[in-house]
Amino acid sequence: MDYKETNAAASTITYDKEAIEAQTDNIYEAISIIAKRATQINSDLKKELIDKLDEFATYNDSLEEVFENKEQIEVSKFYERLPKPTAIAVEEWLNEKVYYRQTDKK
């Protein structure tokens, strides 16, 4: 999924409790689902960032060759400006883009 195209808030906002629990009728279950989705998003973003930063990696052990790579800095800043994984997960939950199932119910 492309997390760069999300409409999630970049800063902290207050959400309506009824809107969060509307799909499950249980706020704790909804928060648990959102937390699991946020963990998935976080691992995806981390893997993507590490893959991009590995392109700039140098494998020298020389301390004298420390230099700044502007492209590497821009990539890092871009990922820092993205909304937090929890904000993205809440936005997906409110837009009903998260699939979940209850295995204990028949």
Q: Where are the domains of the chain?
A: 13-94
pLDDT at 105: 67
pLDDT at 5: 77
pLDDT at 84: 92
pLDDT at 1: 61
pLDDT at 66: 53
pLDDT at 6: 82
pLDDT digits (tens, 9 = 90+) for 36-77: 999 999 999 999 999 988 887 766 655 555 566 788 888 888
- Tell me the three-class secondary structure of the chain, residue by residue: CCHHHCCCCCCCCCCCHHHHHCCCCCHHHHHHHHHHHHHHHHHHHHHHHHHHHHCCCCCCCCCCCCCCCHHHHHHHHHHHHCCCHHHHHHHHHHCCCCCCCCCCCC
Residue with tokens 């028949």: 106
pLDDT digits (tens, 9 = 90+) for 82-94: 999 999 999 999 9
pTM for this entry: 0.81
